[in-house]
Structure 1
Amino acid sequence: MSDNHKYDESRRAGRPSEKLAARDNLISAARTMFTVHSYEKVSTRMLAEKAGVNVAMIRYYFGNKAGLFEAMVRETIEPIKKQVNQFVAASNQKELKDIMRAYYANMSAAPMFPRLIFQTMHMEPSAPQRQLLEKVLFDILRPVQDALFDSGLWEPVIRPDMDPKLCKVSFLSLMIFPFIAPQSMCDLHGIERNNEFLDALLEHNLKVLTHGFIRPELSDGEDHDSES
């Protein structure tokens, strides 16, 4: 039997797509389970049941629970990392705003992930979940963070009368706070944190950036069109 024939049989059986679906389901299950429960209380069996797959799929794709946790964090952060790298390369207003767009798009699909990061980083330094998260964040985000907080990248983008350090804090606050704000605070102000609200908030925050501390001459055509 030829190799091509074997490949065709495999495709007809649907095995590759089933395995890929199993991997995606495990990543999704990990985002949910590690947000609801502490790392120690989440077993591989619980993760497999949540994903609707055999527990052997965790060993097959990730090696163990720690490998699944690490992969989940890496894959959730990767699109934002990619956009930050583009800002580092171009250092202009459009790329800066696209970081926020990428963050909102990805966190809207995984709204509990920022809270997972927030809660985990407030654990004891010896907690396994925090140690795992710090390992991944240091590996993925430290170079990105160093680049993003380089004043040399921000100075051409922001108004000369603004403090680059304070602008960075404002920028991060506009991105992150809506996803980690206590639910009781949202309830108090009648805010329903759904996709419609987040989409509207994103557009609002982009206008805050444009009319707040970004150099007017660097505003993209979209913003000028909205003012004309």
Structure 2
Amino acid sequence: MFPRAAHYASAPCTRRARTLCRGELRYLRGGRVGALILLMINKVAASLAAPPRPAASPLEREPAPSTPRRRRGRGRPKGGSAGNVRERLLAAARELFLRYGYRAVSSRQIGAAAGVNFALIRYYFGGKPGLYREILQSVLPPDVGGMLGAPQEGGREMRLPDILSHMTRVWAGNPWIAGFVLREVLTPGGPMRAMFLREFPERLAPLAERALRAEMARGAIRSDLDPRLLVLSVVSLAIFPFLAFPLTSRVFGVRNDEEFVTRFLRHTQALLSAGVAPAAPAGVARAQARQ
């Protein structure tokens, strides 16, 4: 049995010390405190009886020098990797946006799919909206430039068949545009509607209308037609077969290959030419009617 705490407190002491010890006995009552004191005494005795520890060698005292860690510099990647990072972000974002939609994809997911830090999206494109805008502009500008009324080879101005051909080939050659417009523009509250209208229809429609007015002034198109409604007709003929591709492909055999696009353009241009051609003089009209 462990000695009680009172045994330690009753050591010989002066009368004044006895008075002080009695006050401390209240905190040393019970065998637990005595056992704790005895345990501490045993630990001290065991440490004194242990053999001394040998001194550490110089190799143990001095750790081996480590190679300093090389930190990556701030800013955009240098050299050829910069363009590679940009293209990887565009490719990853295009695939994710088309599969899940603009709102369902985060910047972190795009960065993970591209294998880069998602903060580079803000560095290169100013954020996720700028990245989406870049995806559209990377596909449309080469073809849209002709639709804006830019002179063709040889200085020839854009005409109605050229506008129809450019629109048709843009939509046929980029099937993802239809999914983008249906999901992000035409649905109620489409997140990219304002940007799409600002970047494309609001810029293209007035320029296409101006090109058609110039054709009317040259006498190539009937002057009694409404240029704005004529642009709407051209857009409808060029875009609808590919906007509703899941239906038109099954019902009318619409395809995206060059053979179908060429045949479709030939038919549509002939249809438009017959509808918008200037009226023949009265004598010519009567002669054609008799034939």
> Given the two structures, how large is their TM-score scaled by the length of structure 1?
0.66
Structure-2 change in CA distance of 1:91 and 1:85 (3 Å): farther
Aligned-residue offset at 1:96? 3.1
Hey, what does 1:145 align to over in structure 2?
A: 205
The alignment partner of 2:234 has SS state of helix
Deviates more, 1:207-216 or 1:31-40: 207-216
Specify which of 231, 235, 240 is matched with residue 168 of structure 1: 231
List alignment gaps of at least 5 residues for structure 2: 1-77, 280-291
Structure-2 change in CA distance of 1:182 and 1:114 (3 Å): closer
Specify which of 144, 160, 166 is matched with residue 96 of structure 1: 160
Structure-2 change in CA distance of 1:200 and 1:27 (3 Å): farther
Looking at structure 1, the residues matched to 115 and 202 of structure 2 have their Cα atoms a distance apart, in angstroms, of 35
Deviates more, 1:172-181 or 1:113-122: 113-122
* RMSD after superposition: 3.6
Looking at structure 2, the residues matched to 199 and 47 of structure 1 have their Cα atoms a distance apart, in angstroms, of 37
The residue identity in structure 2 corresponding to 1:152 is R
Hey, what does 2:138 align to over in structure 1?
A: 75
Give percent identity, aligned residues only: 26
1:155 aligns with 2:208: no
CA contact (8 A) 1:30 1:47 kept: yes
Structure-2 change in CA distance of 1:56 and 1:104 (3 Å): farther
Aligned-residue offset at 1:32? 3.6
> Given the two structures, how large is their TM-score scaled by the length of structure 2?
0.54
The residue identity in structure 2 corresponding to 1:155 is M
The alignment partner of 2:188 has SS state of coil
Looking at structure 2, the residues matched to 53 and 146 of structure 1 have their Cα atoms a distance apart, in angstroms, of 41
Deviates more, 1:174-183 or 1:191-200: 191-200
Hey, what does 2:195 align to over in structure 1?
A: 135
Structure-2 change in CA distance of 1:209 and 1:20 (3 Å): farther
The alignment partner of 1:39 has SS state of coil
Hey, what does 2:267 align to over in structure 1?
A: 204
CA contact (8 A) 1:35 1:113 kept: no
The residue identity in structure 2 corresponding to 1:145 is A
Structure-2 change in CA distance of 1:82 and 1:46 (3 Å): same
Looking at structure 1, the residues matched to 209 and 247 of structure 2 have their Cα atoms a distance apart, in angstroms, of 32
Greater RCO (Cα-Cα under 8 Å, separation 6 or more) = 1
CA contact (8 A) 1:80 1:102 kept: yes
Structure-2 change in CA distance of 1:187 and 1:47 (3 Å): farther
Hey, what does 1:108 align to over in structure 2?
A: 172
CA contact (8 A) 2:144 2:166 kept: no
Structure with higher Rg: it is 2
Judging by fraction of residues, say which structure has more helix: 1
Looking at structure 1, the residues matched to 197 and 108 of structure 2 have their Cα atoms a distance apart, in angstroms, of 26
Looking at structure 2, the residues matched to 37 and 79 of structure 1 have their Cα atoms a distance apart, in angstroms, of 27
Structure 1: which 4+ aligned runs deviate by more than 6 Å? 88-91
